[in-house]
Chain A
Amino acid sequence: MRVALFVTCVNDTLYPDTGKAVVTLLERLGVTVDFPAAQTCCGQPQFNTGYRHETEPLVRRYAKAFEGYDYIVTPSGSCAAMVRDNYPRIGERARAEGRGEGLAAVAASVVPRTYELTEFLTDVLKVTDVGAYFPYPVTYHPTCHGLRMLGLGRRPQELLSHVKGLELVELPGAEECCGFGGTFAVKNAAVSAAMGADKARNITSTGARAVCTVDNSCLMHIGGTLARLGSEVRPVHLAEILASTEEQPYGGIR
């Protein structure tokens, strides 16, 4: 089983601990992980802002970087959704524009091999108890792309419920968007901030010590809002909770 980590550009640059957590976690589960250094970005920011043609080289790059791997695992629901939902569309549009089948074939080659982390754990490795330890109350925010595009269902909660010491607290209005939305956060800053503030209020109302998602981009917005509001609730990526053990506990909460 050849497994490659697609760490994503956001995690690579801003949240390396999440990438390290995925490596730690998967290795603990007996998986050997590669990090093909040719990878960069899935192209989601470009595509969602309307720059489809600027995205095309990144589709090709992704496919080339992960050529030969059986599984491409990513700790980002929205990047996995970008590959699975939008790569075929980009290929299809290129075909419709009379530029041949090439891009569609490239897209089709990566779609079935791309997995969001919780899918890989529960569907491929078939584990729900990953031997993690995280002795805090945690609330889970299902990010929109994970929830609606990937259809992660209760996979993340299943995994969290098996973490030793962790108390999973239900988040009111959980399925409402946090207001990040990529460039939406700056193009429509007022509405984005209002959505973020409502999300932050719901999070703090749970009394949890940490809020967890499968996407650091949403978490950057949620965490940035919480911090500005003076909240002590920590934004923590799911991978970092699952990587935490009694021997090597997560160090971000005191």
Chain B
Amino acid sequence: MSGTYLGMPAFPVAAGEAVRDTTLRGNLRHATHTIRDKRARAVAELDDWQQLRAAGKQIKDDVLRHLDHYLVRLEEAVTTAGGTVHWAADADEANRIVTDLVRATGETEVVKVKSMATQEIGLNDALAEAGITAYETDLAELIVQLGDDLPSHILVPAIHRNRSEIRDIFTDAMGRWGRPAPEGLSDSPAELAEAARLHLREKFLRAKVGISGANFMIAETGTLVVVESEGNGRMCLTLPETLISVVGIEKVLPSWQDLEVFLQLLPRSSTAERMNPYTSTWTGTTDEDGPRTFHLVLVDNGRTDTLADEVGRQALRCIRCSACLNVCPVYERAGGHAYGSAYPGPIGAILTPQLRGTDTALDASLPYASSLCGACYEVCPVAIDIPEVLVHLRERVVQGGEVTRAGNRVTLRPAKGHAAERAAMRAARWALDHPAALRAGQRLASRTRRFHPRRLPGPGKAWTDTRDVPAVPAESFRDWWQRTRGTGAAATGSGTGTGTGTGIESREGTK
């Protein structure tokens, strides 16, 4: 992934700072709650939502199982339709291919459709190094670019900004990138949109090269699909002479019929619309209409490695709708930047450690950026069990084990910084497997309970900084039961049951 995120702190550190930023929390709370409620209403309109969701999952699973087959079909179809297909194993290769293609046109400017894949590989930085300026044309991406900022949401990259911040960014920066913002710009949405429109129109009319991603690629015809709301995508896809699309290999669908399922799942999950305003499709090149040259750059960048993992591979079903971000209580408070990649929120927490590995402190901390509340899984339109993958990746972090990296099986060592926890878990396991030891511990805690501090040192401090600790009772349940009912004795209540016990408990008691 992009070097932009290199050296970022572990999630708890960045999230801790974000939590203290009250403007940010207000912006995020307002935005996520609004879209969350709208999504719930849009989804509730369809009686067959759960069937659609199951169909989406099934189609994607089939694609992943036969990815090689569908990709070859796609390549054939795109080539037949007049396009050229390039294969990129990683971000560097993808950036090199795109840079060379733009250079070959002799242009130094490109217009861009909002794309997660190009964010993931850090394309804009790579182009800038080669002296090529990439203009983002999606409104929110434009705000991020003008503000010299990083995206913090998949669908609404500037979700962390409010209207008056956006007005300031436009007034400040538009002039440096092209047409300045109108005099006396207010923060009304209509005026802000108009300012963006005027600024961007110049770029659309001048640009000779467009760069896009794609939401879907249809193997049977070689057709690419972009789903959007603003129409800027349509401009970039039709006006330039050369179109370069950079797409992750998992975005392929077998046929147009499969698209039907996703054109229902995606808009309702993402913008809470029944149908999105613009759906653009293109198949290679067409004489006298649209770009004369079309390149498709297929990006792996960790995807086949992810595919090799039985539990983790479900993350590749993701259609980037961002519903999981909008319902996530952790995302709502930590903000998108704390996740340190183009993919924030729950999906980022399971995708980034797979695409990028768990070698850095940040990447190793991502699987823990969740309370496992399960809200993400509940809304995911392709039923990715995000909590399951999070726990699976935690295991990889604390325990290491076999993973695939760049196509090779390698054995990971356990991540640093978990040694004390590992020892504690082992000790706890031992105690929990020896009830007599557990009971001794409980009794010790009860006997010393008068001396327990209200504020704890060390790791316990993280608890007592904001929460009281519960008082240890004078007697554990286990001891109360034994005192009042006797070991292994049946209950003495007026019950109708037999309740004779199994005898395990008396054996255990004498150990």
Partner of A13, one of B370, B442, B466: B442
Taken residue by residue from 8 to 37, chain B's Cβ proximity to chain A (1 for < 8 Å, 0 otherwise) reads as: 000110011001100001000000000000
Instruction: List residues of chain B with CB within 8 A of the CB of A224.
Output: 463, 466-470
**Contact across chains for A220 and B504 when beta carbons are under 8 A apart:** no
**Distance, CA A197 to CA B16, complexed state (A):** 14
Given A13-B442, A193-B467: A188 in contact with B501 (beta carbons within 8 A) = no
Taken residue by residue from 1 to 36, chain A's Cβ proximity to chain B (1 for < 8 Å, 0 otherwise) reads as: 111000101011111110110010011001111111
Minimum Cβ distance to chain B for residue A1 (Å): 5
Partner of A35, one of B20, B467, B469, B485: B485
Instruction: List residues of chain B with CB within 8 A of the CB of A182.
Output: 371-372
Minimum Cβ distance to chain A for residue B352 (Å): 16
- What count of chain B residues pass the 8 Å CB interface test? 85
Taken residue by residue from 164 to 184, chain A's Cβ proximity to chain B (1 for < 8 Å, 0 otherwise) reads as: 000000000001110111111
A47 within 8 A of B: yes
Minimum Cβ distance to chain B for residue A149 (Å): 6
**Distance, CA A38 to CA B510, complexed state (A):** 11
Which stretch in A54-62, A108-116, A126-134 binds the other chain? A54-62
**Contact across chains for A195 and B425 when beta carbons are under 8 A apart:** no
A105 within 8 A of B: no
Given A32-B497, A54-B426: A194 in contact with B459 (beta carbons within 8 A) = no
Instruction: List residues of chain B with CB within 8 A of the CB of A39.
Output: 435
Partner of B504, one of A7, A48, A51, A65: A65
**Distance, CA A14 to CA B472, complexed state (A):** 6
**Distance, CA A6 to CA B469, complexed state (A):** 24
B374 within 8 A of A: yes
Interface size range on A against B: 35 or more
**Distance, CA A61 to CA B430, complexed state (A):** 12
Given A12-B476, A27-B494: A191 in contact with B334 (beta carbons within 8 A) = yes
**Contact across chains for A33 and B493 when beta carbons are under 8 A apart:** yes
Minimum Cβ distance to chain A for residue B36 (Å): 10
Minimum Cβ distance to chain A for residue B473 (Å): 5
B49 within 8 A of A: no
Interface of B, helix, strand, loop or mixed by DSSP: helix
Chain A residue nearest to B459 (CB atoms) is: A186
B113 within 8 A of A: no
**Distance, CA A185 to CA B15, complexed state (A):** 13
**Contact across chains for A191 and B495 when beta carbons are under 8 A apart:** no
Instruction: List residues of chain B with CB within 8 A of the CB of A33.
Output: 491, 493, 495, 497, 499
B227 within 8 A of A: no
Partner of B421, one of A23, A43, A49, A227: A49
Partner of B473, one of A7, A16, A145, A186: A16
**Contact across chains for B373 and A177 when beta carbons are under 8 A apart:** yes
Minimum Cβ distance to chain B for residue A70 (Å): 9
**Contact across chains for B425 and A54 when beta carbons are under 8 A apart:** yes
Give residues of chain A (200-252) contacting chain B, Cβ–Cβ below 8 Å: 220-221, 223-225, 227-228
B429 within 8 A of A: yes
**Contact across chains for A193 and B466 when beta carbons are under 8 A apart:** yes
**Distance, CA A7 to CA B485, complexed state (A):** 15
**Contact across chains for B470 and A31 when beta carbons are under 8 A apart:** no
**Contact across chains for A223 and B493 when beta carbons are under 8 A apart:** no
**Contact across chains for A67 and B502 when beta carbons are under 8 A apart:** yes
Partner of B495, one of A19, A32, A176: A32
Taken residue by residue from 434 to 467, chain B's Cβ proximity to chain A (1 for < 8 Å, 0 otherwise) reads as: 0100100010010000000000000110110111
Minimum Cβ distance to chain B for residue A185 (Å): 6
Chain A residue nearest to B438 (CB atoms) is: A40
Instruction: List residues of chain B with CB within 8 A of the CB of A41.
Output: 432
Give residues of chain B (461-511) contacting chain A, Cβ–Cβ below 8 Å: 462-463, 465-470, 472-473, 475-478, 480-482, 485, 487-488, 490-491, 493-502, 504-509
Partner of B368, one of A13, A184, A227: A184
Partner-A contacts on B (CB < 8 A)? 11-12, 15-16, 19-20, 25, 310, 329-330, 333-334, 367-375, 377-378, 388, 391, 393-399, 421-422, 425-426, 428-429, 431-433, 435, 438, 442, 445, 459-460, 462-463, 465-470, 472-473, 475-478, 480-482, 485, 487-488, 490-491, 493-502, 504-509
20 further contact pairs, Cβ within 8 A, besides A35-B485, A186-B459, A187-B12: A13-B476, A16-B477, A19-B481, A34-B491, A34-B499, A34-B502, A36-B502, A37-B482, A38-B507, A45-B428, A51-B429, A52-B395, A58-B432, A61-B432, A145-B374, A190-B12, A190-B19, A191-B16, A191-B334, A194-B19
Q: Which 8 A-B pairs have the closest CB atoms?
A: A181-B371, A32-B495, A50-B394, A224-B467, A27-B493, A32-B497, A32-B499, A177-B373
22 example contacts (A-B, Cβ-Cβ < 8 A) are as follows A12-B442, A13-B445, A14-B472, A26-B493, A26-B495, A32-B499, A34-B491, A34-B500, A40-B435, A51-B395, A148-B377, A175-B375, A182-B372, A188-B369, A190-B20, A191-B12, A191-B19, A191-B330, A196-B467, A220-B470, A223-B470, A227-B468
